[in-house]
Amino acid sequence: MQLSTSEISELIKSRLENFSTSAEARTQGTVISVTDGIVRIHGLSNVMAGEMIEFPGNTFGLALNLERDSVGAVVLGDYEHITEGDICKCTVISKVHRSKHTTIVMNT
């Protein structure tokens, strides 16, 4: 059985339309410093390198520097509203795949 490119395209479009994602809080942390879009966080003991972190104001960051007592993360977007003492949440989102037309978030 051979599929045409239009059939494959329609199949992909229908799957993407029905694709849903969710993020759930696993652990919480407290922002201890913010400098030039780099945030130091205390309390995210279960975060993994490359995992997305949710900050107040629907802002996300990427966990990069994992240390014993703190986590360093780069904020993806505007960071001026993030202040010391803000609560941030660890999510289960760890991979983001981008193409020209779509963004697919993979939960692992």
Q: Confirm whether pTM is higher than 0.85.
A: no
Mean pLDDT of 67-75: 93
Tens of pLDDT, residue by residue over 45-66, are 888 888 999 999 989 999 999 9
Q: Give the list of residues 6+ apart from residue 60 with CB closer than 8 angstroms, or none.
A: 52, 53, 54, 75, 76, 77
Residues sharing a CB contact under 8 Å with residue 82, sequence separation 6 or more, in sequence order: 31, 34, 39, 55, 56, 57, 59, 75
- What is the spatial distance between Cα 74 and Cα 40, in angstroms, rounded to a whole number? 9
pLDDT tens profile 83-107: 999 999 988 776 555 555 555 455 5
Measured CA distances, 74 to 18, 37, 64, 100, 103 (Å): 31, 6, 7, 24, 20
